[in-house]
Structure 1
């Protein structure tokens, strides 16, 4: 199923496994790459040496193309970009818009640059700055999200830019991939679907929480870090939403201290990280601390299996996914179903 996405990145299928923190590690990414889709390694929760080790592990597992997701606002973004260039990583994806200079540096080295956006104006901006493609996430997507549904946002972005567009938010099967292609996208990206696979390293008890969830169990809250965040409703979310400012500050400091020990950052550096993640929003001190150590809240669930002490980012599709296939089965069935549906649609149109 060739599209501008497959031609640009060298993968066989127009599917992207998104760079989910603590989830999209070498095992999941290499399995995705071997299946012919574009796997994206999540780097925001890694130190620079850990990122290099992870990239090399993926390369040892497969020679298929893959990508790495970078935080454009990270203090060492330039060093991480240089690492990708040195290691020959095919795709650099970004959760926020990278600078024009960073895009140029990566492109000059032959790296494909794919920022993620949630608004038409942001898509136009990164295209003007030289991005090769853009991933647009609608409000159904997990993690930090917007208010506009994918079915409204995706065609708007397709009409607004001339570079390949990848749709994200609400996709989990071949019907979704077919719909994205009909909208004019070059492919579809999926997060929660790949999280719920056998190769995903998320603990079984956490996967069980996802599989048991109904659509109404997936909520959007601003109480984690002051920004809209889509996740499973859990004990931690309930505590954050019901607690007062004092309790929130105490909890934020406790989690921040744990993240500081894990990351090696100073308190001053952590506050800088938190301020950088505000995206122009005015946050309280506790929200700034939580913004800086949200990865720790994710780790508690996604790595340690503590659903009571962590948060579980989730797209709305968590409420309709009921199985744990292999990555190869997800990619194969999604592409086959999309091809079958598009062929049948074309036949009906001709008739």
Structure 2
């Protein structure tokens, strides 16, 4: 199935595996790439040395194109860009909008730039700055998310920009891919669905918690870091939501003390990071001290679950689709299944002369 996305980045299928911190490491990314999707390596939770090693490990596992996700507001963003360029990475994706200068630097080096956005105006801005494509996430998506559903946000962005649009938030199967194409997208991006594969390094106990979750067990809360954050509802999340400001501050300090030992960050650095994270997302309301500390520690809260398997003290970012996923296929099995389903759905649409504008007719996929 050829779309503007497959043509742009050179993958076989219009599917993106998103750059999830502590989850999208070399094993998952290379498995996604070998399956014909665009695997995205998450670099925000790596040092620069670890990033270079991870890129080289992915390269040793696959000849297919892959990408690296960056935080545009990171103090060492330009050093990470240099690594991407030197190592010949095909795609740079961004969790926050990169500057015009950063986009130009990457494009001059032949790197495809794909920022992630949650609003039409943000898509318009990065498109005007020269982004090659844009990934738009609706409110169904996991992690920090907005309020507008994908079915409303996606067509707005498609109508507003003239670059390929990748749809994220609520996708897990071939029906979703066809729906996104019908809206005008060039492909879909999936996070939770790739997290729940046999190629994911997430501990089994954490995967079991995702598989056991219903749609109602996936919630949006501001209790963790003061920002809307979609995740599995756990005892930790419930406790944070029930806690008053003084109690929340005490909990945040205790958890911060423990995570500080793991991260090696000083108290002052953690507070600065928390405030910077807040400002980078344009949140204007005052941030409590507990939220400052928790914002700085959010990556470590995720690490506790995604790496250490501590569902009791960690948080588990999750898209709403977690409530409808019930298996752990390999990436190859998942991508093949999505494409077969898409072919069946496209072929079964009544009164359609061709599957979709710009698409080649679906072919049976073994």
Is TM more than 0.5 here? yes
Query: What corresponds to 2:360 in structure 1?
Result: none
Q: Does 1:339 align with 2:343?
A: yes
8 Å CA contact retained: 2:218, 2:230: yes
Q: How does 1:247-326 map to 2 (within 5 A)?
A: 247-278=247-278, 279-281=281-283, 282-326=286-330
- Shift, 1:50, TM fit: 1.0
CA distance, structure 2, for counterparts of residue 73 and residue 260 of structure 1: 21
CA distance, structure 2, for counterparts of residue 105 and residue 304 of structure 1: 37
Q: Does 1:2 align with 2:5?
A: no
* TM-score for both structures, normalised by structure 1: 0.97
- Shift, 1:44, TM fit: 1.0
CA distance, structure 2, for counterparts of residue 254 and residue 194 of structure 1: 33
String of CA shifts for 1:17-53, please: whole Å, max 9, x gaps: 0111111111000000000100111111111111111
RMSD: 1.3
* TM-score for both structures, normalised by structure 2: 0.93
CA distance, structure 2, for counterparts of residue 198 and residue 317 of structure 1: 17
CA distance, structure 2, for counterparts of residue 103 and residue 180 of structure 1: 26
Gaps of 5+ in 1: none
- Shift, 1:264, TM fit: 3.2
Query: What corresponds to 1:59 in structure 2?
Result: 59
CA distance, structure 1, for counterparts of residue 236 and residue 255 of structure 2: 12
8 Å CA contact retained: 1:25, 1:54: yes
CA distance, structure 2, for counterparts of residue 79 and residue 260 of structure 1: 24
- Shift, 1:250, TM fit: 2.2
String of CA shifts for 1:129-180, please: whole Å, max 9, x gaps: 1111000000000000000000000011000000000000000000000100
CA distance, structure 1, for counterparts of residue 353 and residue 203 of structure 2: 48
- Shift, 1:246, TM fit: 2.2
8 Å CA contact retained: 1:249, 1:285: yes
CA distance, structure 2, for counterparts of residue 48 and residue 267 of structure 1: 22
Instruction: State the aligned residue count.
Output: 350
CA distance, structure 2, for counterparts of residue 71 and residue 350 of structure 1: 43
- Shift, 1:269, TM fit: 2.5
String of CA shifts for 1:328-349, please: whole Å, max 9, x gaps: 011001012112211222x533
8 Å CA contact retained: 1:141, 1:230: yes
- Shift, 1:275, TM fit: 1.4
Query: What corresponds to 2:158 in structure 1?
Result: 158
8 Å CA contact retained: 1:235, 1:307: no
Within the candidate set 348, 352, 360, 1:349 is matched to 352
Query: What corresponds to 1:235 in structure 2?
Result: 235
CA distance, structure 2, for counterparts of residue 24 and residue 61 of structure 1: 14
Residue 259 to residue 49, structure 1, CA distance change in 2 (3 Å):
farther
Query: What corresponds to 2:24 in structure 1?
Result: 24
String of CA shifts for 1:70-129, please: whole Å, max 9, x gaps: 011111111111111111111111010001111110110011110000000000000011
Moved segments of 4+, more than 6 Å: none
8 Å CA contact retained: 2:6, 2:12: yes
